[in-house]
Structure 1
Amino acid sequence: MPSKNRISYENKMLHYNADLELVDILCTSINLGELKVENESALFSHIDPTKHPVLSKRSVCQENRRMAAYHLRQTVFGSYIKDMYEEFSRFLRNTIAEAVANLKINPDRLVGEHKVNLSAKEILSLRTITAINEKVVDILFQTLEAEQSTIKLIKKTCDKLGLDISDDLINNALPYLELRHKLVHTDGKLDAEFKRKYPHIRCTNRDYVDLRYVMIREARNHVNNLVFAMDDEALTKGFVNPHVS
């Protein structure tokens, strides 16, 4: 039985997965010419110039339909990678928080080389040990994220919880988690270092990541495998509890 943290991750991703499937169906229909008007009077069937002024002004041809579908696919697929990273990060943070709440983690191991300083005023204003624990976890996780290294975020989370996760699981998920930073900061343009490290990530002739449905499914599978392994380890070690519906 998985933890509530994994269940929450999976439930959030289900909605994003449905978006992927819908876009794939829509783009396939467009590429097959199934949404065009028979007399070629408009770019798409059901187009309304008052509601769709941009598409209405485009020349009516199959190439423009394909271009619109391609841009839609890249936009939604890019959002999926970014959302997946956010949900993965939230899963890590929630796993640490539950381990702290369950008093199952060694304080020295949790804090490690990181410093968490709370003034007497802050401690008194928080009032309860639960609120103090939450504040400590927030500060600690923000410190981990501030290092701006996905591999450090994963490995230090594993170290703090004493989770034994194989390097293969981490390395398989890492390219897709790091791709989020490229999408956010460079609009998906890949530098030479990223292409050298991850040659299997396809890019266009202008060095922008070429997001395809096959690649997105690979990303989902590899990140899911990492989440599931971390959750299993945390459950085995008693840091988190099985979810009871």
Structure 2
Amino acid sequence: MPETRSHQSFRQRIEYLHTHLSVMDASVKTALSAIHSNSEASTINDALAVEKHYTRLNHPTTESYRIFNYSKSTLHKNALVELHSIFSNYLKCSLREVLDTRPYAVLMLSDNEFSIKYRDIFNFSTLEKLYDHILDVFFKGLESQRSTKKMLQRIISKFNINAHQELSEALPFFELRHLIVHNKGEIDSTFARNYGEFFSVQEGDKVPSNYQNTHKAIVSIQALTKAVDEGLQNYMK
């Protein structure tokens, strides 16, 4: 099935993210291997034979695991946050495409009736700008609330999209991102109760941040996005 313009953009951004993640994760592993194969070097700089202007690498080689594992952890946490951002952008852009063909369709996604002040109407010189405003209102608060699940369930239900399994597999990774951004990267009681066994974590643990989990997140969210995109295309026919 052909894809929407929004899905094309999503797919390209995900491919860049996945490639970057692979390059950086492999680089860290290669660097650690090089450091510990050079028994004569006393500092990380010397072991890697890099320029001295990398002043933060002027640490004893005995500190390499701590330093590089921190970098790996940060890399994967940032990737989960970026993945959510890319997916959110896809949703906003794809719903914008729906608005172009069925203007009233997106309005039914909100619990509250959409309204706009009379004087504000004059701020929208084109219908396109009004559509953009509607979506901004719809997505307001998404970044600061644990509302991704509710929003996606509503989209799937309202547009009759067959993506319940894909949503179930992707949700744990959206929740990981929520913990990274809003809970200092620590597992809370809700996550531990719902997904603790799946990730082998308990309340108070740090969010698992490694290539295996981030790769699973990318694959599952790609599958969810593909299913949503196919459903929206069917709806717009």
The TM-score by the shorter chain falls in which range? 0.7 to 0.9
Q: Is the Cα–Cα contact under 8 Å of residues 114 and 143 in structure 1 kept in the other structure? A: no
Aligned residue for 1:207?
Answer: 205
Q: Aligned runs of 1:123-162 on 2, under 5 Å?
A: 123-142=121-140, 148-160=146-158, 162=159
Partner of 1:184: 181
Q: Are 2:156 and 2:163, in contact at CA under 8 Å, matched by a contact in 1?
A: no
Residue 232 of structure 2 corresponds to residue 234 of structure 1: yes
User: Against the structure 1 CA distance between its residues 144 and 32, is the aligned structure 2 distance closer, same or farther, given a 3 Å change threshold?
Assistant: closer
Residue by residue over 1:95-140, the C-alpha shift from the partner in whole angstroms, topping out at 9 and shown as x without a partner, is 11111122365466345x2232212221122122222122112112
Superimposed CA distance per residue, residues 186-232 of structure 1 (whole angstroms, 9 cap, x where no aligned partner): 23110232122112224499610221211111111111110000001
Q: Percent identity?
A: 18
Residues 36 and 45 in structure 1, CA contact (< 8 A), matched pair in contact too: no
User: Is residue 24–residue 73 contact of structure 1 (8 Å, CA) maintained in 2?
Assistant: yes
**Which SS does the other structure have where 1:153 is aligned?**
helix
Q: Per the alignment, do residues 124 and 22 of structure 1 end up closer, same or farther by CA in structure 2, a change over 3 Å counting?
A: same
Please tell me whether the aligned partners of residues 169 and 225 of structure 1 are also in contact (alpha carbons under 8 angstroms). Answer: yes
| Structure-2 residue corresponding to 1:163 | 160
Aligned-residue Cα RMSD (Å) equals 2.5
Alignment TM-score, normalising by the size of structure 2: 0.87
Task: Give the number of the structure whose residues are more often helix, by fraction.
Answer: 2
Gaps of 5+ in 2: none
SS in 2 for 1:237: helix
- In structure 1, give the amino acid aligned to 2:21: L
What residue is the counterpart of 1:23 in the other structure? 24
Distance 1:114 1:144, change over 3 A: farther
Aligned to 1:45: 48
User: Structure 1: any 5+ residue segments left out of the alignment?
Assistant: 240-245
- Conserved 8 A contact 1:85-1:177: yes
- Matches of 1:22 and 1:55 in 2, distance apart? 20
TM-score by length of 1: 0.84
Deviates more, 1:88-97 or 1:101-110: 101-110
